[in-house]
Amino acid sequence: MPSTHPPSEGNTATASKSKLPPILVGRRAVITGAGRGMGKAIADAFEEAGATVVRLDLKEGDNVRACDVSDAASVARAFEAVASEGPITDVVHAAAIAIVSSVADMTEADFRRVTDVNLTGTFLVAREATRYLGHGGNILFIASQGGLKSWGNWGAYCASKAGVLRLADSLVEELAPHGIRVNSISPGSVETEMLATTIVDIARKTGSDPDTVRARYLSAIPMGRFCQPAEIASVAVTICSDLFSYVNGSNIVIDGGELSR
* Catalytic residue numbers, as ranges: 157
Spatial separation of the C-alpha atoms in residues 205 and 78, rounded to whole Å: 37
Specify the 3-state DSSP secondary structure of 52.
strand
Name the phi and psi angles at 22, rounded to 5. Answer: -80, 65
Spatial separation of the C-alpha atoms in residues 216 and 221, rounded to whole Å: 9
Q: Can you give the C-alpha Rg of the chain in angstroms? A: 18
Q: How many CB atoms lie within 10 A of CB 21?
A: 14
Q: How many CB atoms lie within 10 A of CB 243?
A: 11
Spatial separation of the C-alpha atoms in residues 118 and 122, rounded to whole Å: 6
Name the phi and psi angles at 234, rounded to 5. Answer: -65, -35
- Taken in order 184, 188, 190, 192, is the CA torsion positive or negative? positive
- Kindly state the helix (H) or strand (E) to which residue 160 belongs, with its residue range: helix 155-175
For every residue of 62-95, DSSP letters joined together read TTEEE--TT-HHHHHHHHHHHHHTS---EEEE--
Q: Rounded to a whole number, what is the distance in angstroms from the first to the last CA of the chain?
A: 12
